[in-house]
Structure formats: structure tokens, C-alpha cells
Amino acid sequence: MSDPLRGFDPKATYDAASSDYEDASRDFWQYMSTRTVELAAPRSGETVVDVACGAGPGLLAASRAVGPTGRVIGIDFATQMLEIAEQRVRAAGAHNVEVRTGDMTALDIEPGSVDVLLCVLGVFFVDDMPGLLRSFWSLLRQGGRMAITVLGERFFDPMIDVFVDAVHAERPAFDIVQPWRRIRDAATFRALAEEAGLQGFTLREDTDTLTLDDADDWWRIVMGSGLRRTAEALGEDTAAKVRARCGEAMEERGVREVELSSQYLLATKP
């Protein structure tokens, strides 16, 4: 059986990247979490579960939406990411938020007990993606909503191509694993939802343009995202050469913006 992740270990990668991830996420992709909460539209008094919640930007948005009579549960298995999430929750005084360590493929949540299930940038890290969506669906009560967010075709374009070219210039045979590419377009996302047995769902895709002040911003993205796995596997010296190549290409091409697309699946349980 093939390994779609080819040895990519999300827990180890994102635990190692926790502080860098929080820094880069705040400036470059945190909006996906808050946008997902807005699309799911939690209401006062509801129970929200945020799976693969990471450092917790979606938790605070959901906390405000459900109010003091509601409940928000954030779950992730990257413990260092959860420490950051807990700090955010405490600093915000969000008493209706609970943060738990857990595996999203084996959630300790009672079926039919959840009003809103959120999963932002997490589905593509499991082997059985349709099975994961089915398990999420089972947690929803009647009228409950599920919002699943993945990346789209444009992934920090054009810098991702610069990065790949720089890696292969230093290590021609190196395998750059990008699990998020497993759901790279609307057709693939739709097929996944249909295989999971979801009905009446809608899909939305957005493309956002993000500003890079300099080459250091690009390397913040690398080290704060799943690309960190590649940089660390290359070793410190080779990674430094890749970083330099990226910086040189940015200057030569005058790159000061990148495009990042995101896809949102929204479904309500009848």
C-alpha cells in the first residue's frame, strides 16, 4: 500500500515549528481560521469543536460567537502548539474554551453532541480522509454544521516554485513532501466529500494576496509551515544555501507578494 504522506510526521513537524508557526500564521494564514468560523456561523449557546486547532486563532473567534452559555473545545496532538493555544485562551479570559490533547482520528466526543465542527488545514494529514470526514459528521447533532478548510491550487505562488527549484539545485533527488497538495482543487475536494457520503454541501474557494516585506518573511513561512520538514531534512548548511537562493531569486524577480488560495467545505446535517 502506498504512503500518501511519504513519512511526513505532522506532530513532530508542528511541535518543532510551534513558535515559528504562531509567528508566521499570525501574519500570513491565520485569517483562514477566523474565516472558517465566520462561514460556520456559531450561535449563542452552541457547542463548537475545533479539530487540529493548532495555536488557537479559531478558538477565540468561536468563543466570542457562542458567548458565555456556549462551549468551545479545541483538540490537537501537537502539544507545544496547544501550549500556545492555552496561553491565548487564558490571556483572553475565554472561560468557555477547553483545550485538549487528542488524535483527530480517534476523538473522545459523544456522537450527535456537537453543533459546529471545524477543521482548518488538518484533513490532508491522515491516510483515510473520507473516513475522517465521516467520523466528523457523526459527531454533529441534527442541524449541526461542519466547516472543513484546506488549501487550494495556489500555495504561496510564485515563491513555492522558487523554493522547490532552490532545493533541487542543492539536492536534485530530494523528495519535497507537501501533504496539503492531496486536495489541491475543487474537483478533488468535491470527490472527497462525495466519497465520505456528504450531501447538500457547498464549496467555496478564495485566493488572497499576501505581502512579503523581504526575503526573511519568506523564510518565516518556510520554517513556520510544513515546509519546515524539508528545510530540517536538508540539514543546516544546505538549508542555508536554499534560503540564500530564495532571497536572490526574490530580488532578481522583484517578488514582494505571494498568492495563497483556500477551499472551504460547508455542510449542514439534516
pLDDT in tens, 81-119: 899 999 999 999 999 999 999 999 999 999 999 999 999
Task: Kindly give the pairing relationship between strand 71-76 and strand 97-101.
Answer: parallel
Closest listed residue to residue 116, CA positions, set 144, 139, 154: 144
- Provide the mean pLDDT of the chain: 93
264 CA to centre of own chain:
12
Q: What would the mean pLDDT of 176-183 be, rounded to a whole number?
A: 94
- How far apart CA 35 and CA 84 sit, in angstroms, is 20
Q: What would the mean pLDDT of 65-85 be, rounded to a whole number?
A: 94
pLDDT > 90: what percent of the chain?
A: 85
Q: Please tell me the predicted confidence (pLDDT) of residue 1.
A: 39
pLDDT in tens, 204-232: 999 999 999 999 999 999 998 999 999 99
Query: How many domains does the structure of the chain reveal?
Result: 1
- Looking at per-residue pLDDT, the higher value among 159 and 15 belongs to 159
Question: CATH number of the domain that 138 lies in?
Answer: 3.40.50.150
- How far apart CA 136 and CA 180 sit, in angstroms, is 19
- Residue range(s) defining the domain that contains residue 45: 10-155+180-209+262-268
pLDDT > 70: what percent of the chain?
A: 93
pLDDT in tens, 118-137: 999 999 999 999 999 999 99
Instruction: Kindly state whether residue 217 falls inside one of the protein's structural domains.
Output: no
Q: Is residue 184's pLDDT more than 70?
A: yes
Q: What would the mean pLDDT of 258-266 be, rounded to a whole number?
A: 98
